[in-house]
Amino acid sequence: MAKQAVGLLETRGLACLVVGVDAMLKSANVELVGPMKQIGNAMCNAAVTGDVAAVKAAIDAGASAVAQAGGEVISAHVIARPDDAIDSVLPKDAAARAPRK
């Protein structure tokens, strides 16, 4: 089954992203997709999945927490009912990539 929604939070600086992700996971029933990633020029991003309302609430809480911590939110976006092909570009958990024995 496809994800109901995907939320993306991008900040300048890893510390601010950690604050934002912490707020997202505590504020709504969402799941972190893979590891948080540094993408260069101090830009970092994280993705969460869940139902549309939960993802929207989580992204709003995360962006607010980053701003309150003095960080810079570069992007905060929710994709409702993403196409199944989105799974191929989302980060994967290390456990999911490890070969099964």
Flag whether pLDDT at 97 surpasses 80: no
Instruction: Report if residue 89 sits inside a domain.
Output: no
Instruction: Report if residue 97 sits inside a domain.
Output: no
First-to-last CA distance in the chain? 26
Instruction: Report if residue 40 sits inside a domain.
Output: yes
| CATH value at residue 15 | 3.30.70.1710
Q: What is the pLDDT of residue 45?
A: 92
Give the number of domains in the chain: 1
Flag whether pLDDT at 5 surpasses 90: yes
For 11, phi and psi rounded to 5 degrees?
-130, 170
Instruction: Report if residue 51 sits inside a domain.
Output: yes
Q: Which domain holds residue 55?
A: 10-83
Q: What is the pLDDT of residue 22?
A: 97
Q: What is the pLDDT of residue 3?
A: 63
How far, in whole angstroms, is CA 15 from its chain's centroid? 14
Q: Give the Cα separation of 71 and 17 in Å (integer).
A: 8
Tell me the torsion sign for CA atoms 25, 28, 31, 37: negative
Question: C-alpha distances in angstroms, 30 versus 4, 11, 73, 78, 97?
Answer: 11, 19, 20, 12, 21
pLDDT digits (tens, 9 = 90+) for 79-91: 999 988 888 888 7
pLDDT digits (tens, 9 = 90+) for 9-66: 999 999 999 999 999 999 999 999 988 777 778 899 999 999 999 999 999 999 999 9
